[in-house]
Amino acid sequence: MLQLCRDCILNENWEVVEPHILAVHKQVRNLVDLPSKPPKADDMDAKLRCNLCINECVLSKNDLSYCGLRNIPKSQSGELPLPSRSRGYIHGYLDRIPTNCCNAWFCNAEYDTYSYAAFLYGCSYNCLSCQNSSHKLFSKKHLFDAEFLAKQIVKNKKITCLCYFGGTPEVQLPFSINLAGLIIEKIEKQDKKRKFRICWEFNGSGRQDLVEKCMRLAIKTGGNIKFDLKTFNEKLNIALCGVSNSKTLENFKYLAEIFFNTRGKYMPEMSACTLMVPGYTNHKEVELIARFISEINPEIPYSLLVFHGDYKMKDLPITPKKQATKCLEIAKKYLKNVHLGNKFLLGFS
């Protein structure tokens, strides 16, 4: 799809390479009617400024945001653009524990209870190999009221945790934080002894103060946060995901330095994971990511995920065993807690 190899992306003249990369992403986004880049209306035309994620969209009256969730209501009747703090685009379902959520490999949630899997629409990235591209099926999205949803979730005593994923939760952080707060409030009123963990799986590109709120809620409830560290090299992130990873790395470092290991060794507050995209996220990239994490704290759990072709990168093979083994070996040189996810794709149980 990209028609560029890792070496070209990293070493060729960026002024030549970047326009090609942006043209590929534009083509992909056109297929689902999303803008090719974050709208940046000038001051005269600006009707809505959003700073929930790295894209910092500034919308004029006919613009659609990069995540596809925000535009200016046609009526102009003063109603707030949606989604908001109290209403969000979410699809929820029950997932029996142990689940396949990204941090299940070290989490100590109670087996045979349920996780509420909270799939949030929209994303701040445009990964060509997106493994959850249904977040762009906006015609299927429904707006749910946080108060209503919180009551429904709390009513079911078999639910012991909530996992936000998507898409990426960053583009609806006010909603997901509010919903989490309402759930905690209701549980504290009804049954102080009930355990209910809140977890986030995200790409990390959100506004720092909100990302920190997520961390505090996760810690308070015994939950955790998983960061998708897709790459270390910014150019490679732009090539594979359409957007810079600068905010992601900054947020990861910020949270890990303050919060990691604050509640004891056996309940990690956060983790990172990397999808090993054949030819792109190879052992050299994994080494850079693992070193970055280890310089913050070598105990931070790190999961390497075996890739399978998806979305616009269906032509790529499953991560070769040789690549997976090499990445694993290198990551273990730097980090104490490394895991291989999606092993079944390699024929391992």
Determine whether 115 is exposed, middle or buried from the number of CB atoms within 10 Å of its CB (0-12, 13-18, 19+): buried
| Residue 115 lies near ligand SF4 (rule: CB under 6 A) | yes
Tokens of 134: 């249904």
Note whether 217 and 270 are within 8 A (CB). Answer: no
Instruction: Convert residues 78-107 into a mask of x (bound to ligand SF4 by CB under 6 A) and - (unbound).
Output: -------------------x-x-x-xx--x
Tokens of 244: 């810079």
Nearest 5 degrees, angle CA 157-CA 88-CA 273?
Answer: 75
| Chosen residue from 2, 17, 24, 50 binding ligand SF4 by CB under 6 A | 50
- E-only strand ranges, 231-311: 270-276, 302-306
74 half-sphere exposure, CB direction, 13 A CA radius: 0
* 71 part of the interface to ligand SF4, by CB under 6 A: no
Q: Which has the closest alpha carbon to 289: 240, 256, 249? A: 249
Based on the shown chain and the rule CB under 6 A, indicate whether residue 211 belongs to the binding site for ligand SF4: no
Q: Can residue 248 be called a binding residue for ligand SF4 (CB under 6 A)?
A: no
Using CB under 6 A, which of 90, 159, 199, 270 touches ligand SF4? Answer: 199
Binding mask 14-43 for ligand SF4 (x = CB under 6 A): ------------------------x-----
Residue 118, amino acid: A
Residue 241 interacts with ligand SF4 (CB under 6 A): yes or no: yes
| Pick 132 or 337: Cβ nearer ligand SF4 | 132
> Under the criterion CB under 6 A, does residue 210 sit at the interface with ligand SF4?
no
Pick out residues in 159-178 that bind ligand SF4 (CB under 6 A). Answer: 161, 163, 166-168, 171
Distance, CA of 330 to CA of 139 (rounded, Å): 43
Residue matched to tokens 């900054």: 250
| Residues contributing to the site for ligand SF4 (CB under 6 A) | 38, 50, 52-53, 55-57, 65-67, 69-70, 97, 99, 101, 103-104, 107, 109, 115, 123-127, 130-132, 135, 161, 163, 166-168, 171, 197, 199, 203, 223-224, 241
